Structures are given as structure tokens and as C-alpha cells.
Amino acid sequence: MTIKEIQDEIVDEFSMFEDWMQRYEYIIDLGKALPLINEKYKTEENIIKGCQSKVWVHGELNNDKIVFTADSDAILTKGIIAILIRAFSNQKAADILEANTNFIDEIGLKEHLSPTRANGLVSMIKQIKMYALAYNVNK
């Protein structure tokens, strides 16, 4: 699936919920289902700067695609990074760099987060794009 197709699927899933309490519960469930990052990647250099809670993101190139793993010490934040991992993991670096993140606004996520969590979300996206930039340059 393309990044856009995955993002559209996420938007469709969120549109099924009537209120934000249900959406928060869904985000938490996504976080619980997030495959665990290898402990060796829970390092200071993999921590997202600008997040209120601790969030680790690691990306590595596998058959021309970047595979991301992540974790967080906060359950809601773990769900947020799970959404981003779903959208961007297993994609080519160039596709990640070209992808927009409008789906975040479409599901209303940023406006329903505290300012510090919203800043953390932006930092997570930035880190994913930085991995893509690094792997794209190395081609």
C-alpha cells in the first residue's frame, strides 16, 4: 500500500467514532498493539526531542524501504507514534519525504492534543522525515 492509501484508511477508521473519547481509546489500543522496539534502540540518540513523555524511534533500511520501530513511556503517546509508524514504515525514503501529513488534521488529532503533545507529534513527524532524508541521501 502507498502512504496515501494507508493514511486514507486511518482517516476512514477514525471517522467511524462518534466522539473523541472513543478516538482516544482507539489510539491507546493502537499503542498497545505497537510492536516493541528492541531495547538496544532505547538510547538517548533515538529519543524524540520536544516530547513531554519519552518517545524512542528507530528506523533502518531493509530492501530499499525504511522499517520503523518505536516505543513511549506514555500510553497515549505510544498510540500516536503507532499511527505514524503505520503510515510511514515499510516505505521508500523518497516516498516518505514527499508524503504530506494532512491526514493528522483530517482525523483532528492535533487540535485534540495538549500543546505539548501537539509539539511532540510534530517532533515525531520531523524525526521520521530525518530518517528518510538520511537514507535517501545514502542511495
Task: Report, as residue numbers or ranges, the catalytic residues.
Answer: 51
C-alpha cell at 104: 493528522
Model confidence band, residue 35 (pLDDT cutoffs 50, 70, 90): confident
- Which one, of 19, 57, 61, lies nearest residue 37 by Cα? 57
Q: How far apart are CA 11 and CA 106, in angstroms?
A: 7
Positions of E strands within 20-136: 55-62, 65-72
Residue 73 has pLDDT above 80, yes or no: yes
Other Cβ atoms less than 10 A from the Cβ of 69: the count is 19
Amino acid identity for residue 51 in this structure: C
- Look at residue 87 in the predicted model and tell me its pLDDT: 97
Q: What is the pLDDT of residues 91-105, one digit of tens each?
A: 999 999 999 999 999
Q: How far apart are CA 131 and CA 101, in angstroms?
A: 16
Q: How far apart are CA 124 and CA 48, in angstroms?
A: 6
C-alpha cell at 25: 481509546
C-alpha cell at 139: 542511495
